[in-house]
Amino acid sequence: MPLAYTGIIIALVVVIIYNTIKILKEYERGVIFFLGRFQKVKGPGLIILVPGIQKMTKVDLRVVVMDVPTQDVISRDNVSVKVNAVIYFRIVDPEKAVIRVANVFEATSQLSQTTLRSVLGQHELDDMLAERDKLNADIQSLLDQRTDNWGIKVANVEIKHVDLDESMIRAIAQQAEAERSRRAKVINAEGEKQAALMIAEAARTLASEEQALQVRYLQTLKEIANERTNTVVFPMPLELVEPILHLTKKRGS
């Protein structure tokens, strides 16, 4: 047999073997079609196909990490923000992922973008900034429901950034400053109120006890005496003068 024919035969054998024998890794599955009709899902391991009659589409079952491009979102309180996210999903039904959608990854990406805008557009800006865990759960649940028909399981969704324009950042800063000022005024007013109540209570106590008033007066004199001054002028309370006047009247009578 001529050498040229031998080479052709060897090439044909290699092509047949390549199209007949397939090896799938542990995380891979093969969707088998027999004359264009779905037959079964095989793998992992060694797969033998009938050339020209059976075709196989390979599917990866590992978790896919997909970035959702930045989306322009208008919140419920009419604030324009730019939001991007990341989703984690995997194929759990290779048959659906191959037969029911042409490009499962492109379809999931587009659906993620529309779902992100739809869910966030129903919330106010404060919710986007303060309740990300709840929003992540809402988006994940909705995506999981919509992609179930494609054999997709969405495991997690994470909002990465919520970007505001400069004017909105300044407005939020002014709002925060106004809130801090309001709280400071409320705290100061509450302190003044408590101080006034305590002073009034002290005044009532001193007014009800003459001896307490005299003791307080003497303590005040002691404090004044400790100060470095040459002249001290202080009033004489009537409570101290009245006993002296009473004794003077008795002696005069």
pLDDT digits (tens, 9 = 90+) for 60-104: 999 999 999 999 888 888 888 899 999 999 999 999 999 999 999
The number of folded domains in the chain is 3
Q: In the listed set 29, 44, 60, which residue is the last one of a domain according to the structure?
A: 60
Residues 6+ apart with CB under 8 A from 70: 82, 83, 84, 161, 163
**Contact yes or no for 139/170 (Cβ under 8 A):** no
Is the pLDDT confidence value at 51 over 80? Answer: yes
Q: What is the pLDDT of residue 241?
A: 58
**Contact yes or no for 116/162 (Cβ under 8 A):** no
Mean residue pLDDT of the chain comes to 82
Q: What is the pLDDT of residue 252?
A: 60
The answer to the question of residue 34 being in a domain is yes
Calculate what percentage of the chain has a pLDDT beyond 90.
42
Residues 95 and 150 grouped into a single domain: yes
Q: For residues 183 and 99, which has the higher predicted lDDT (pLDDT)?
A: 99
The answer to the question of residue 122 being in a domain is yes
In angstroms, the CA 47 to CA 20 distance is 8
**Contact yes or no for 206/213 (Cβ under 8 A):** yes
The answer to the question of residue 185 being in a domain is no
Q: For residues 123 and 212, which has the higher predicted lDDT (pLDDT)?
A: 123
Q: What is the pTM (predicted TM-score) of this model?
A: 0.65
Residues 6+ apart with CB under 8 A from 204: none
Q: Which domain holds residue 111?
A: 64-169
Residues 72 and 162 grouped into a single domain: yes
